[in-house]
Chain A
Amino acid sequence: MKTDTRAHLVLAVWLLMMVFPVEAAAHIAGGQAAGFWTGLEHPWSGLDHILAMVAVGLWGAQLGVPALWVLPVVFPMLMSVGAMLGLLGIPVPGVEVGIAVSAVALGIMVLAEVRPGMVVAMIVVGFFAIFHGHAHGTELPAGQSGLLYSMGFILGTGCLHGVGILIGLIHYYPLGKTLLRLTGGCIAAMGLFFLYHAVT
């Protein structure tokens, strides 16, 4: 047998063995990084969630200070309340419909440049956040850190709001105002698509 054939054979056997690994328990406190990463990517895992969370940032940017930072603070806080309800097994009716409606409603707010009082804006955003939190809160994979999952989850949501705020800054340019409102319209339209799927 030639040398290169033998090398290929050994490599093939090696690769085959890697398919069936024997357990190697290398860490006591396992799942730390995995928990954080799972939480971080969770809010990005569904387009309906992304639309609503970005819309919060867009609306905040459109409304200006203090809504610019108050709304992205209210959303994660109330989202945690929703997640807690989910963790405790307390049902929230129409979660999927609520998520889709949140994209529609927040998109319309941006499209129509609705300027309610600060408290009303907080209630609107907080109300919808509960649906998003409930949908995501219970999905910690086995063996991962609950705390780091939670932290990643909050951070991921905050990043989405940040993306919305950054995009929303175009509001301060003449053409940007119209573009931002159009973006809100697109979000509302996509929300309608998700709403259709949620109710059918």
Chain B
Amino acid sequence: MVSGKTSLLVPVLTAAVFMLWPERAVAHLVTTGMGPVYDGIGHLLLTPEDIIPVVALAMFAGLRGVESGRKLLVIVPLFWLLGGAVGLRATAMPDVPLQALSFLLIGLLVAGDIRLPVLATAGLAGLIGALHGFMNGAALQNDLGAPGLLGITIALFVITSIVSALVAVIADGWKRVVVRVGGSWVAASGLLMFGWYLRGA
């Protein structure tokens, strides 16, 4: 029978041997292990470049009222999916800081509580959705592919539903101010992203 100290020695020694030869652990951040659809959901939730404009867009639609929010539910996922389908076949990416520009544009709209007509809000949502979808599609070409894009679309529907409905219901008085302050932070982040792009960082 081994003593307590000797039994401690074995795992310590084993750990020490393993630490001498660390293997390369290539851990993809967005792989859930549950298949490409769930990976797509994880990809959206873990990619601030995508999730923040979506949340900001839903906030903007919520500020504009229930009608705009309802249109957003259909338009953003649909155009994201269409843009993504094009992106899956894209051979080149435009060298334009689209993400920074969408941060800046949506952030300013939320911060300024700009009163766009429902149709204009819907058009903007479609444009933003299509652009981000295109970039997603191009990024997923050799990775998750179309099922991943489907996962992203499902997640988009859920997120836009929750956020736009929440903002449409609560955004009054000081809560509306909180939403607008959040928008200003998104715009400021976009401005900094634009700076990083111009600097080539």
Instruction: List residues of chain A with CB under 8 Å of any chain B CB.
Output: 3-4, 6-7, 10-11, 13-14, 17-18, 21-29, 32, 69, 72-73, 76-77, 79-81, 83-84, 86-89, 137, 140, 146-148, 150-151, 153-155, 158
Contact = CB atoms under 8 A, between A and B. Distances in A.
Contact of A6 (B9, B185, B192): B9
A84 B195 contact: yes
Contact of A73 (B16, B181, B189): B181
28 contacts: A3-B9, A14-B12, A14-B19, A22-B22, A24-B24, A25-B25, A25-B26, A26-B25, A27-B27, A28-B26, A28-B27, A29-B29, A32-B29, A69-B180, A69-B181, A73-B181, A77-B187, A80-B187, A86-B195, A87-B196, A87-B199, A89-B199, A140-B201, A146-B192, A147-B48, A150-B189, A150-B196, A151-B48
A99 B189 CA distance: 21
B191 interface: yes
Nearest to A69: B177
Given A7-B5, A29-B29, A69-B177, A88 B16 contact: no
A6 B26 CA distance: 35
Q: Which 4 A-B residue pairings sit nearest by Cβ, starting from the closest?
A: A84-B195, A150-B192, A87-B195, A80-B191
B91 interface: no
Instruction: Give chain A's interface secondary structure class.
Output: helix
A24 B19 CA distance: 10
B29 A14 contact: no
Contacts of A26: 25-27
Given A17-B19, A29-B29, A158-B181, A11 B195 contact: no
Contact of A79 (B13, B23, B188, B194): B188
B12 A10 contact: yes
- Chain B, interface size category, equals 35 or more
B190 to A, nearest CB: 8
A152 B195 CA distance: 16
Contacts of A158: 181, 185
Given A73-B111, A83-B192, A3 B13 contact: no
Contacts of B199: 87-89
B198 A87 contact: yes
A72 B27 CA distance: 40
Interface of B: 3, 5-6, 8-9, 12-13, 15-16, 19-29, 48-49, 52, 99, 111, 177, 180-181, 184-185, 187-189, 191-196, 198-199, 201
Contact of B188 (A13, A29, A69, A80): A80
A154 B185 contact: yes
Nearest to A21: B22
Contacts of A147: 48-49, 99, 189, 193, 196
Nearest to B108: A77
A144 to B, nearest CB: 10
B192 A137 contact: yes
A77 B8 CA distance: 57
A77 B27 contact: no
Nearest to A158: B185
Nearest to A22: B22
